[in-house]
Chain A
Amino acid sequence: MRNLVLLPEALVVAGAAFILLAARFAWLSPAARRRLPAAAAVVALVAFALELWVGATLATYFGGALVQDRFALFAKAAALLAAALAIAAADWGAEDSTSLGVAMPLLAAFGVMVIASAADLLTLWAGLELAAAAGVTLVAVRRPDLGLRLLVAGGVASGLLLLGLAFLYATTGNADLAAIRAVMIGTTPTLSLAIPVLLLMSALAMRATLAPFQLAGLSAGLGASPLGAGLVLGLVAAAAATVAIKLAATLVPVPQVVSPYLEVLAAIAMVGGGLAAIAARSPRVRMAYLAAGQVGWVAAGLVTHFRSGLAASLFLLGAFAVAATCGPAVLGRAEGGEATIAGLGAVRPLRAAGLAFALLSLAGAPPLAGFFGELAVAAALAQSGHFVLLALGVLGSVLSLVAVAGTLRLMYIQSPLEEARRGALAALPAVTVLSSLGVAGFCLVVAAYGFLGSPILGLANQGAEALGLR
């Protein structure tokens, strides 16, 4: 069984590499190319099933650089499920390149898997860069200018991250996460610890499109193809949040260093995300801000420094990864603003339901995945006495809900655009068997996440425990 643990990673990387090579050397017939999304979704689903089957095995690889524990199991499963559903649910008529569109989500998921298993600072960094590179590639296919912007912003984030990691290494004398944690126990907070923490948080906030560092990521995501937007807003942000959870667990012994910055970031993201979502006039922009707000909730869970808080963040991160990655893919081409989704409930009922589920989950509306995740974080915040942050978070969720009501009204209550007035930007998403299955699967996951919450939250709890938290 131990030898099978890395099989999901191998499957995903092999699948992505094969697709890229096949596209480069034109190995596939047009008919086979049309089936690529279905094949990639199956690969990701098989990897997901394998992860659930063999992922419970505890093991270390490559001299301790990679660790398979419950945390890894949870994060990998969430990333694989998000990638599979996004590939399946996407409107492939709205994507610019099928091969890149299929391969990049797989590579981004692989990046998250590397982070999930990372046992040292370098592997964490490598996994995050891999996920981010996949996002940049997919953005650049449609909008090279935005791709470049994302690359530059990502470069700054990467630089800050490296600098922070270097400071951390210099302060503790270790690159290994467990060793750093051991050194931290009994350490008093100092400026030499505060500097790397500040740098790391700024870098991760940029990667996770967390306010006030969201500008580059958000605008890049908005100009990208639907799947590209899903990658930047979902999987890349989830990758950054996974890094943040691992680093937060490492720095738990010195909460005074982490908490103040994290609290401010979380509060700005939760309230600012909700406010910006209300002001937004395009469904994708609104979704992007809702996602930013939910990342704020994930960050709020890290403020607690308890196992239950980090477990709640992880539980919410699973919900976030699925909703934020699949949401833009389900939305399809809607660059034309609000009018493009008017009456979507009548003309594309399943897709409208998927979009409604994605938005409501990101807003934390009951009884969907985001609601349960946010309430789990809220419970952890209450336990740790962060009532102000809790109140701000709930306020942010209320604002988000108000924003979502506007979009739901457009989809279900307004009349659809006349066919003659629909341009390319407002074209209705194509209905295929794969996309219908993908959207239905997505709705099922988002709806069932809370009702099957006991095993999922239990696994998240074990994941937090695996990070050394009690």
Chain B
Amino acid sequence: MILLQHIALASPSPTPASVPGANIFTSPLLMSLTIWLPVAVSLFVAAMPNPRGRYDQLMKQIAFFTNLGLVFVLFVAYNQFQAFLPTMQYEEKVPWLQAIGVTYHLGVDGPGMVMLMLSGLVGIASVLASLGIRERVRSYVCLLLLVQASVNGAIVARDMFVLILFWSATAVPLALLILGWGGPRRGSATWRLLGYWGLGTAALVVGTMALYAATGGSSFDMDVLLKASLTPRIQLAVGLVMIVAGATRLPLFPLHGWVRDVLSEAPPGVAVVVAGATTRLGAFLLLRTLIGALPAAAHLLSPLLAALAALTVIYAGLAAIRTVDVRHAGAYLAMIPGGVTVLGLAALSPLGIAGSVLSLFAGGVAAALVVGACATLAERAQSRSLLVLGGLAPRMPSLSWLLIIASLAVLGVPILATFPAELMTFFGAFKNQPIGAFAVAVGLALAAVAFALLLRRVLFGAPNPDAPGVSDASLGESWYLGLLAGALIWVGVFPGGPKIPGTDTPVFDPGLVNVMAAGISDMASPYVGPTPPAGQ
């Protein structure tokens, strides 16, 4: 509860506790590194000689160590992050297309740092999940690294032009990854992905251009576009198109048409990166542009957001109950954390917004875990049909445990990171959006039923003698799923970071909730209720 109050107030702390080892490394190009390192490695891999696939393994190792290095750099940045500082950090600003007011402006605040950590973690998991790829490894590795670069770029962009650049750049390599290495319905999945994401990109472009025009057409910098005082009418128009952009990416009902096919047809490594990182960009966009910049529109549109969140969670729960395909079930259940995140945004309260930001990380990891676990299970059991699979728990114990953790994570049970996220979200939402919050809670109950049915059928039902042979997760698969599950447990147990006993000095990890608080107070300030007069 103390933690909740702490987040709810989100007030600047004059003396944030420093983490041992902080400030040992500084780089003015830290944000650029997160974007251009994967691109450079991708180009290097593309140019590497690889006679008859001799260096396929080496290419996978290069991708893995690139991601590992990136996470190390991100962890240093995370440790050095000045928690409770409301301004952007690690900023880079270089004039670019001056004639139309574009700057190469990068930077990160608390929510951005949370997203970067998520992207790094999911990046490693996706490479580990891709160790089984045997065909055209070079192209696969290059495209996967390009996806990671574009996701990082979209997170750290502080100029809307740069944001559009990276936001739209994620679609092409992802489409090729699904087309090239996807399941039997990959064609349909790709066209749906391009169609829906294309619609979202179109909405983002139109919304950005409307902001650009409304602010005088001099700059695309977020400091200008998102801090201008606009009329409620313009805010409403821009807010609506931004909701379309965010809803296609997250996805939210009814703009979710791509999610089932993409998450069930993509290879596990790609499905993990889509469910874990790229989709979270949708909620991140809503946080940045709607909640953080258009308060009048946010007030007007928050019931719509809450309704979309509720419909998404209820729809996902019902669809997961009805489906007879384990990967479809995983895809539907991966929509639920997105709905919870949006409910927090719709709450328009500091606590709800803080819950949303934590949910970006926790929900992203949970979605990646559930999609990855279902995909790996389907591969290992050689079938996706819930009519065929049954009684697998004794034969794949590791995978069974990981699927159970994934289920619990999506439902937000204690000791997992989704628990504080959902708690904060619901505490924040029940005051301002009680109907929406209640509906989302109903949706979560449906999801619990869906999980119970899934686990009973697949893991604990009677074994099917006609089912193909099964095997437990390989080392790589156990590692990537274990990494995601471990992150959920770590943040769930230590949301504020582990401390030296008896002191407030953090050890090794300054705590995700501390880091994410930087910037939230600024974003949430328009939604803080009037302070009651003294003496009342």
Contacts and interface: CB of A to CB of B under 8 A. Distances in A.
Contacts of B191: 402
A387 B206 contact: yes
Contact of B201 (A376, A383, A394): A394
A375 B161 contact: yes
A412 interface: yes
B134 interface: no
Given A390-B209, A405-B190, A409-B179, A375 B164 contact: yes
B217 A382 contact: yes
8 contacts: A365-B172, A367-B165, A379-B209, A387-B206, A398-B194, A409-B179, A412-B176, A454-B96
Contacts of B449: none
A409 B217 contact: no
Nearest to A399: B198
Interface in A310-332: 311-312
A454 B100 CA distance: 9
A59 B166 CA distance: 42
B1 interface: no
Interface in A364-391: 365-367, 371-372, 375-376, 378-383, 385, 387, 390-391
B198 A398 contact: yes
Question: What is the size category of the interface that chain B forms with chain A?
Answer: 35 or more
Given A379-B217, A412-B139, A457 B99 contact: yes
A461 B217 contact: no
Nearest to B173: A408
A108 to B, nearest CB: 29
Nearest to A464: B99
A408 B206 CA distance: 27
Contact of B180 (A366, A398, A402, A412): A412
Interface string A452-465: 01100110110000
B95 A454 contact: yes
Given A379-B209, A454-B97, A454-B98, A398 B139 contact: no
B202 interface: yes
B470 interface: no
Contact of B100 (A367, A394, A457): A457
Nearest to A371: B165
B318 interface: no
B205 interface: yes
A360 interface: yes
A312 B179 contact: no
Contacts of B100: 308, 312, 376, 379-380, 457
Interface in B148-185: 161, 164-166, 168-169, 171-172, 175-176, 179-180
A394 B202 contact: yes
B176 A408 contact: yes
A378 B97 CA distance: 14
A412 B180 CA distance: 8
A308 B198 CA distance: 26
B199 interface: yes
A29 B90 CA distance: 63
Interface in B358-410: none
B212 interface: yes
B262 to A, nearest CB: 13
A460 B99 CA distance: 9
Contact of B212 (A383, A398, A399, A461): A383
A457 B98 CA distance: 8
B414 interface: no
Nearest to B213: A382
A398 B202 contact: yes
Interface of B: 95-100, 102, 136, 139, 161, 164-166, 168-169, 171-172, 175-176, 179-180, 190-191, 194-195, 198-199, 201-202, 205-206, 209-210, 212-213, 217, 220
Contact of B198 (A311, A371, A402, A460): A402
A49 B261 CA distance: 51
B176 A409 contact: yes
Nearest to B168: A366
Contacts of A22: none
Contact of A398 (B96, B97, B201): B201
A385 B191 CA distance: 31
A405 B169 CA distance: 13
B99 A458 contact: yes
Contacts of B165: 366-367, 371
Contacts of A401: 171-172, 194, 198
B209 A413 contact: no
A457 B195 CA distance: 31
A458 B198 contact: no
B470 to A, nearest CB: 30
A359 to B, nearest CB: 11
Nearest to B198: A398
A380 B210 CA distance: 11
A395 interface: yes
A300 B310 CA distance: 41
Given A376-B100, A380-B100, 4 more contacts: A308-B217, A391-B202, A405-B176, A458-B98
A268 to B, nearest CB: 18
Given A454-B95, A461-B99, A413 B201 contact: no
Contacts of A381: 209
Contacts of B179: 405, 409, 413
A56 to B, nearest CB: 17
A345 interface: yes
A409 B173 CA distance: 11
Contacts of A405: 172, 175-176, 179, 190, 194
Contacts of A460: 99
B209 A382 contact: yes
A382 B241 CA distance: 15
A461 B98 CA distance: 10
A23 B460 CA distance: 83
